Chain A
Amino acid sequence: MIHKILSGLDKLYGFRTASAHCDVPCGIYDPSTSQIAALTVIRMLDLINELAEKETLTIADQARLSRLVSQKEEHAEKVKAEVRIIWGDYFKQAQFDQVSGVNELVHSIMLQGSKCRQTIDQDNGPELLKLVNQFAEAFWQTKGVETVTATCPYPPAQLVVYPKLG
């Protein structure tokens, strides 16, 4: 009630603003970081499974495996964090009204990201990317930016949703 009154008066007279400052400039959101992290997860899973084909692992192979697993987990977590930031900080009621099912989609990404951390099943990576691409599509839709789906020009050469800019 009081917000409505003040909002109406604001339109007429324009109240001064008081900034609830953040420590970083707000408004910079881009799902590409989560897409790159998801691609990294797929690549790490591929490389881990290449190692799995070897009959025996040398010490160097074991060191490499350890590094690949660590990177896989780190980037799966990064996917979750980056998506959470956009969902939590950027999406407001206006954006939720523009695209439906975002909450369920984000929850699916959280679950799939965890799956990627927990296992080395190669099917989990592309599924994560698929969900993150859907999230990117939803994000760009709220910005009124068209998207295009193209194969990324580097391994793991997967379909990625890009904004159609310029």
Chain B
Amino acid sequence: MISVFKIQGESMSPRLSGGDFVVASRFYITLSEGDIVVVQHPVYGRIIKRVKHIGESGRFLLTGENEQSLSSEQMGWLARSTIKAKVLFSGRKNTLLAT
């Protein structure tokens, strides 16, 4: 299922900025480091971040795109079930960038 999300906040800047949109799919075949995902985090709610590292158990770490972001340590190791969608592409104010 395809969903559209509106971005709030600047921790994914310059890749994504507040007010940008992303088109994301709930279904995906592979998850790789570097993918942008929308996650339902147990503490921080629905967040959008980049997959930083995938462990052997399949759990993964997230990161932002700049130093304003919550750190990977703060967000902690997360289960695959927290991923609500994988971003396919983004609609930015001035350009269209594949993520």
Q: Which A residues form the contact surface with B (CB < 8 A)? A: 1-3, 5-7, 9-10, 15-24, 26, 89
Name the residue on B nearest A16 (C-beta). B5
Other than the known A18-B46, A21-B47, A22-B70, what 6 A-B pairs have Cβ atoms closer than 8 Å? A2-B91, A3-B21, A5-B91, A10-B21, A18-B22, A23-B70
B73 to chain A, nearest CB (A): 11
The CA of A1 and the CA of B21, in the complex, are separated in Å by 12
**B7 contacts the other chain (CB 8 A):** yes
The CA of A16 and the CA of B8, in the complex, are separated in Å by 10
**B61 contacts the other chain (CB 8 A):** no
Interface SS, A side: mixed
Per the 8 Å Cβ criterion, residues 20-79 of B in contact with A are: 20-23, 38, 44-49, 64, 68-71, 74
- Cβ A22 vs Cβ B6 within 8 A: no
Give the number of residue pairs across the A-B interface with Cβ within 8 Å.
88
Which of A10, A16, A17, A22 contacts B11 (CB under 8 A)?
Answer: A22
**B3 contacts the other chain (CB 8 A):** yes
- Cβ B64 vs Cβ A16 within 8 A: no
Known A6-B21, A6-B91, A10-B6; contact A20-B38, beta-carbon cutoff 8 A: no
- Cβ A3 vs Cβ B6 within 8 A: no
Which of A7, A16, A23 contacts B69 (CB under 8 A)?
Answer: A23
Name the residue on A nearest B95 (C-beta). A3
Which of B8, B10, B92 contacts A17 (CB under 8 A)?
Answer: B8
Name the residue on B nearest A24 (C-beta). B68
